[in-house]
Amino acid sequence: MEFCDDCGSMLKTEGDKWVCGSCGFEKLRDEAAEAAMVTTEGQEEGEIIDISDAEDKGLPTTTAACPECDNDRAYWYMQQIRAADESETRFFVCTECEHKWREDDH
């Protein structure tokens, strides 16, 4: 991918030149530089790994009583769901049954 030296827009190829559709800037293409560029066509798709059964959700855990199964550990995270001048809401997910509940600051 190349960008315009004058305006910064993305350049498009037209024959042996790179051309800016915004300001009309042109420059000659360099075959050696283009051969070194990584394209999406040249990338291989990696193996898809299913981690849905993984125990670690990448979230911190804390002591919290699950209202469904009485387990005492839960993952937690904070999320802004109200106006910006309101405090965030803390969400919990049980480490055993994956029940989700929230705790609002009052």
Please provide the CATH number assigned to the domain covering 61-103: 2.20.25.10
pLDDT at 106: 46
Is residue 95 within 8 A of residue 71, CB to CB? The reply is yes
Alpha-carbon span 48 to 89, nearest angstrom: 33
What is this structure's pTM?
Answer: 0.44
Domain boundaries, the chain: 1-39, 61-103
Annotated binding site: 4, 7, 20, 23, 66, 69, 94, 97
On the question of pLDDT at 31 being above 90, the answer is no
Predicted pLDDT of residue 48: 63
Give the model confidence (pLDDT) of 46-105 as tens digits.
666 555 555 555 788 899 999 999 899 999 888 887 777 878 888 899 999 999 998 865
What separation, in Å, do the N-terminal and C-terminal C-alpha atoms of the chain show?
52
Q: Which residues contact 36 (CB under 8 A, 6 or more apart)?
A: none
Kindly report, residue by residue over 72-88, the tens digit of the pLDDT. Answer: 999 988 888 777 787 88
- What residues form the annotated binding site for Zn(2+)? 4, 7, 20, 23, 66, 69, 94, 97
